[in-house]
Amino acid sequence: MDVFALRDGRIVTIRQIRADDGERLRASHERLSPESQYGRFMSSKPQLTGADTRYLVDVDGHDHLALVATVTESDDEAIVAVARCVRVRPGSTTAEFAIVVGDDYQRLGLARELMARLAGAATEHGVRRFRATAFADNLAIHRVIVRVAVGEPDYQRLGPITEVEFDLPARLDCGVRRATPARRAAA
């Protein structure tokens, strides 16, 4: 668990997803705009089913990794962003990744931070390449990819969809700026 200061000064906690995050994840998904939901799932998905939720929180920490960014809300915490990767098959060095950031937290550096941390965690578990499918006009994810990828990402345009695959840095930190005690105090 770590904290990260967004560009607007708000603080989020970044941690691994937990089995007890199901309701938090559902609430987070329901707070997304229809456009953000569509961008994440590439279809209309106003609610997560029970099966969706179980799959998304039931990670093994090796073949399926997930990080969440949370903020304190009343007595609990609210999930405001999720980054995950799942190996294309057990033991593969390639994993598919996905990131979704709540509408009120977009364009503040959170996707970039989560992607760097996810890449670092994946590399630690033997993943060497990421792949994803995204809308071709999703410029934000393409900018994040370029900042994390080693070398040129391999893009394949399929109409409004782009498939991308790229190598991950061998270094585990992937440029992640950990929150030092001084940074936490300043935040």
- pLDDT over 80 at 174, yes or no: no
Distance, CA of 181 to chain centre: 25
Least confident of 36-45, 60-69, 170-179: 170-179
Residue 182 inside a domain? The answer is no
Q: Which residue has the tokens 């969440």?
A: 68
Q: For residue 4, list its beta bridge partners.
A: 12
**Rounded-to-integer distance, Cα 104 and Cα 80, Å:** 8
Residue 129 forms part of a structural domain: yes
pLDDT of 182 over the 80 cut = no
Q: Does 40 map to a domain?
A: yes
Give residue 37's pLDDT: 85
Give a yes or no: residue 186 inside a domain: no
Question: Does residue 184 lie in a domain region?
Answer: no
For 48, phi and psi rounded to 5 degrees?
-90, 135
pLDDT value of position 177: 40
Q: Tell the residue number behind the tokens 């294309």, with chain if given.
A: 88
Count of the separate structural domains present in the chain:
1
* Percent of the chain topping pLDDT 90: 77
**Which of 111, 132, 118 minimizes the C-alpha distance to 41?**
132
Q: Is 87 within the bounds of a domain?
A: yes
Q: Examine residue 116 and state whether it is found in any structural domain, yes or no.
A: yes
Domain extent, residue 169, equals 2-174
Separation of first and last alpha carbons in the chain = 16
- CA–CA separation, 93 and 124 (whole Å): 11
Whole-number pLDDT of residue 180: 36
Three-state secondary-structure class, residue 187: coil
Least confident interval from 27-36, 100-109, 171-180: 171-180
To the question of pTM greater than 0.75 for the whole model, the response is yes
pLDDT given at position 21: 97
pLDDT for 171: 63
What count of residues does the chain have?
A: 187
Q: Is residue 187 part of a domain?
A: no
What is the Cβ-side half-sphere exposure of residue 117, based on CA atoms within 13 angstroms?
A: 27
Position with higher pLDDT, 177 vs 26 = 26
In tens, the pLDDT along 32-47 reads 998 988 888 877 788 9
Question: Where residue 114 sits, what CATH number does that domain have?
Answer: 3.40.630.30
Q: Residues 133-168: pLDDT tens digits?
A: 999 999 999 999 999 999 999 999 999 999 999 999
Mean pLDDT of 116-125: 96
Of the candidates 129, 134, 169, the one whose C-alpha atom is nearest the C-alpha of residue 148 is 169
